[in-house]
Amino acid sequence: MNEKSELSKAVRSTETARSVYDILKRWYARSLLAGVEGRPVAWCMVGAPPEVLSVFNVDTSWPENYSTACAARQMAVPLMEIAEGEGYSKDLCSYERNTIGYCKEYLRLGGIPPDSPQGGMPWPSMLITNSMVCDPRTKGFQAYNAHYLKVPMYTVDVQMPPYGADVHDPKVREHYRKYNVAQIWGLVRFLEQQTGKKLDEAALSEAVKNSLKAQRLMWGVHELRKSVPSPMPSEDQFACIVPQLYLAGQPESVEFYQSLHAEVKNRVDNGLGVIPDEKYRVLWVGIPPWFNMGIFNYLESLGAVSVMETTYYVWAPVEVDLSRPVEAIVDIAWQKICQIHALGAELSTEGMGSAGLVLKFVRDYALDGVIFHRVLSCRAISFGQAHTARRLRAELPVPCLFLESDMADPRTWSDSQIKENIHGFLNIIDAQRP
Amino acid sequence: MERDALRGLARVERLYADRSARARALAGEGRKVIGYLCGLVPQELITAAGLVPYRITGNPGEPIAEALDYFEPNACNYVLNCFQQALRGRYDFLAGIVIPHACDTVQRLYGLWKFWRPPDYTHFLNVPTVVTPEAVQFFREELELFKESLETFAGRTIDRAVLNESIGLHNENRRLIRGLYESRKTNPPALSAGEMMRLLVVGTAIPADEFKSLLVEVTEEVQGRTVSGNPEKVRLLLYGCIVDNAGLPELIEGQGGIVVVDDTCIGTRSFSRDVEIGNDPLGSLSRVYFSEFLCPKIVPDWQASRFAYLADMAHDYGVKGVVAYLLSWCDPHKFDMPVLRDYLNEAGYPMLAIEDDYTLSSSGSIQSRVQAFVEMLRQQD
């Protein structure tokens, strides 16, 4: 139990989750070396397909991930304050504010700011973003490219069917598929232009195959996490997203999830839980506070385990024709969209705000309560929480707790109030037990 | 056609006082009224289907309450306010709604409205983020799907001739509005910013043919005016997202400034370009409502030079500075702000950014800032 420090890193349960740090170190070092050697480096936003980037041997930095690293090391605030001084509102995505501050500081110093987490991000030769999930991922990249970077930029514009669309209607499917395939081909042409290389379709096919393998393993881990006691908590999963989001398609990613799956299965087989006496099983909805992942350990000190989470969820495995890998990337996404729509998709086709998913998890994971983390500077992920709580009250009564802070901005954290709310929430769960 | 003893700006005042009265009356007579949000929805298609387009707005005087049971508090207050009107039954006269993917909040609004308060007809119009030939084609297909859904709902085919006729009517309204904007190039302008705003807001709540006759009346009235007033007011350009009431322009006017032109959703973004009448009306609508539409959500390019049209507009109308009106939590506009501010500064047009929650409830502080800005501009002369 950590009552002394308000903000702390998480102590993780699984060895595999702890090994993510080594992967991160190697990955950042590769990108930094590429920058030093003058090879292409792309700054990318999650949603840009890493498989395509990997076959062009383009090294990558992901401002989103870098911002979580800055937040975890309590180094984000000075960078965000620089962005705010430039006129970027405190309302705006804290990842983007952190990155804007980084750009400005890089220019001021003429290089990577000293003591940057993971050695920092090398100055990019190109930007690759996308329009999935939220506006800031296009608007933020546009802003710091116009203000500071001034490098070639490609936006993968992903279009998704709205709530209520018949996703099984071939006409609807073709409307979206045609456009989204053209977007990925556009990325390919952009990378061909930037690198002078042609797409190796066989290599891309292999990368997509690896990606599917990793996703299947991750899905298996999610299934294993239904076990009681919980074998793997949310703070571990939030570390384990790194290969899935940033290194998809690489053999290293498959090896990581093989190792994770084996470890979690072993824990389930031997009845090893996150804590010895699991009293409360809760769901975490929303992005976590990267600057205070220790909050999950605090929950555990009270007998509560966050056994599952909605954000970064890997949907059920799918099968696609890999002979045309560009199209396969879109077909994989479409099959996931179909899964999301089967559950409702009222708020967002990306599924992270899906009330249906939360209702399903409450049933499948034998949950006692739901914690909604209302992330102030990330509207896109927070949207749907009030709606979901409303549906829960009507359809599957389970205690809900709303915590309000942010993903990377610790100035929003009110420790005593949040802890008081957590205590009250657990008391309500106790009171409602049969 | 509505019969009314009042004419011109007097009729505008009466309609503005109860903006949805005419639409409610039409609904009572059996006409189907379709509510839409943002400037990305082609009203021509709704009119061509024999339906009445009605722009959904909020009520700035009302604090947000029950909308928070459905939406997060860090969502755009304008959108929350609009949804609250629906929750309070004030949009029960709407037979349907059309919501475009204008931003994250508006996109999510569609699902919430459809889930909790579904009218007979709902349609979501996807809008690409980039402007490429594929994106233009995608939006054109979106319009085709929209047209088909309207045809099904209205039980009426929208053929090319009918659509072109509707485009012609809406173009005529655009032409008349542009004429009124021209009258604001004089110093002082022949039409105040408050009068102009009330006219535009009213125009989004009545059928296009009724708006046309109103515009004709107002144009005659303005042409007959002897321009008088205080030529010392500082001419300003109003930039921002949604300004759907006369409160802000009138507040600015009270502090020694005068808005003579704007770049806002209900303002110039909606009428500065005509839709071409011809063999491919959906293609023409795609250009005006998407590829040439000036919305921060659409990212044609990342360079700051994308704001060149604003400097041109400022020059044409002889403005001294720009007031940017920003709604709290509005990502698309707020991310543009620092780049836009620097661009306009270099072009010789200082900018004042005002942040508000749509209510103008902190009008005292806004007044002080506008007053100081106007004074600064005056001293630059």
In angstroms, the separation between the Cα of residue B20 and the nearest Cα of chain A is 28
Buried b (16+ CB within 10 A) or exposed e, B209-247: ebbbebbebbbebbeeeeeeeeeebbbbbbbbbbbbbbb
CA dist., res. B18 & res. A153, Å (int): 48
Residue at A257 is within a domain:
no
Over range B78-105, report the average pLDDT: 96
- Among chain A residues, CA nearest to B135: A179
Provide the residue range defining the domain that includes A163. 19-199+275-432
CA of A131 vs chain B CAs: smallest distance (Å): 7
Q: Identify all chain A residues contacting B122, using CB atoms and an 8 Å cutoff.
A: 164
pLDDT at residue A4, as a whole number: 46
At A349, the pLDDT band (50, 70, 90 cuts) reads: low
CA distance A86 to chain B (A): 7
Shortest CA gap A171–chain B (Å): 10
Search chain B and give the residue with CA nearest A372. B72
Write the DSSP symbol of residue A46: B
- Residue A3 included in any domain: no
Which residues, other chains included, contact A248 with Cβ-Cβ below 8 Å and sequence gap of 6+? Answer: A49, A50, A51, A207, A210, A211, A214
Place of tokens 């920003």: B326
DSSP state string for A403-426: EEE-SS-GGG--HHHHHHHHHHHH
Confidence of residue A3 (pLDDT cuts 50, 70, 90): very low
pLDDT band at A351 (very low <50, low <70, confident <90, very high): low
Cβ within 8 Å, pair A186-B339: no
- pLDDT higher than 70, residue A353: no
Q: Using the beta-carbon criterion (under 8 Å), do A159 and B334 form an inter-chain contact?
A: no
pLDDT band at A2 (very low <50, low <70, confident <90, very high): very low
Task: Nearest by CB to B72, from A135, A143, A383: name it.
Answer: A383
- How large is the average pLDDT for residues B221-249? 88
**Angle B248-B250-B254 from CA coordinates, rounded to 5°:** 115
Which residue is closest to B71 within chain A, CA to CA? A386
Residue of A159, A380, A390 with shortest CB distance to B104: A380
Mutant choice from B120, B335, B340, B344 vs A, greatest count of A C-beta within 10 A: B335
* A383 with B71: Cβ contact below 8 A: yes
* Candidates B109, B123, B130, B302, partner chain A, best to mutate (most A CBs within 10 A): B302
* A168 occurs within a structural domain: yes
| pLDDT for res A225 | 98
Tally the domains of chain A.
Answer: 1
Q: Which is nearest to B273 in space by CA: B124, B170, B165, B364?
A: B170
Chain A residues near residue B69 by CB distance under 8 angstroms: 386, 390
The count of CB pairs under 8 A between chains A and B is 147
Q: Bridge-partner residues for B262, per DSSP?
A: B238
pLDDT tens digit string along B107-138?
999 999 999 999 999 999 999 999 999 999 99
Which member of A86, A153, A163 has the closest CB to residue B111? Answer: A163
Domain assignment present for residue A309? The answer is yes
- What CATH number corresponds to the domain at position A372? 3.40.50.11900
Lowest mean pLDDT across A40-49, B53-62, B296-305: B296-305
Q: For residues A141 and A143, what is the distance between their CA atoms, to the nearest angstrom?
A: 5
From the list B103, B297, B303, the residue facing A146 with the nearest CB is B303
A43 within some domain:
yes
**Span B342-364, average pLDDT:** 92
Chain B residues whose beta carbon lies within 8 Å of the beta carbon of residue A337: none
CA distance B156 to chain A (A): 22
| Beta-carbon separation of B124 and A163 below 8 A | yes
pLDDT at position B51 over 60: yes
Q: Kindly state the DSSP code that residue B155 receives in the 8-state scheme.
A: T
Count CA atoms within 13 Å of residue B295 on its CB side: 26
pLDDT tens digits, one per residue of A137-152: 999 999 999 999 999 9
Pick the residue from chain B with its C-alpha nearest to A85: B338
Residue among A143, A380, A385 whose CB faces B339 most closely: A143
- Cα dihedral A375→A379→A381→A384 (10° resolution): 100
Q: What does pLDDT average to over chain B?
A: 94
Question: In one letter, which amino acid is A104?
Answer: K
Distance from CA of B243 to the nearest CA of A (A): 20
> pLDDT tier at B301 (50, 70, 90 boundaries)?
confident
Question: Cβ of A143 and B336 within 8 Å?
Answer: yes
How many helical (H) and strand (E) elements, i.e. helices and strands, does chain A have? 17, 8
The alpha carbon of residue A353 is apart from the nearest alpha carbon of chain B, in Å, by: 10
Nearest chain A residue to B138, by CA: A179
**Residue B226 pLDDT level (bands cut at 50, 70, 90):** confident
CB-based contact B135 A163, cutoff 8 Å: no
Task: Flag whether A53 is in a domain.
Answer: yes
pTM: 0.95
Mean pLDDT of the A292-307 span = 97
pLDDT of residue B303: 87
The position carrying tokens 């890493």 is A50
Give the pLDDT confidence score for residue A6 in this predicted structure. Answer: 84
Minimum mean pLDDT range among A75-84, A188-197, B78-87, B184-193: B184-193
